[in-house]
Amino acid sequence: MKISDSNLNAVTTSAQQAAQAAAAGAGARTASGRPEGARPDRVQLSGLSNALQSLSAGGPERQGQLERLAAAYQSGNYKVNAQAVGKSIITDAMSGS
């Protein structure tokens, strides 16, 4: 009596494919452990991530300024200089930044 089950064939095929992949990966490797001929991984960050990183690395002076601004805002004493803000927006737009 012969039993033909397609699921058993699929398992066998998957196991054979896994064994073949493992054998292929056991070839020559570089000093870093990568298979020969394999390209190294690359990461490319956007300009926005660089800008955010530079803002977060402001140092103790920036941290003190932020704390003073937060305290003034929470107490209701923070006043926006609309003229200075407008001028900065226009200057920034004109410089193409």
Contacts of 38 (CB under 8 A, 6+ apart): 30
If one counts the domains in the chain, the total is 1
pLDDT digits (tens, 9 = 90+) for 4-57: 666 555 555 556 666 666 666 555 666 666 677 777 788 777 777 777 777 666
10 part of a folded domain: no
What's the pTM value of the predicted model, to 2 decimals? Answer: 0.34
52 part of a folded domain: no
pLDDT of 84 reads 96
CB 27 within 8 A of CB 35: yes
Q: Which ranges in 1-97 belong to alpha helices (H)? A: 6-25, 47-56, 60-75, 82-95
pLDDT of 15 reads 62
Q: Which domain holds residue 93?
A: 62-97
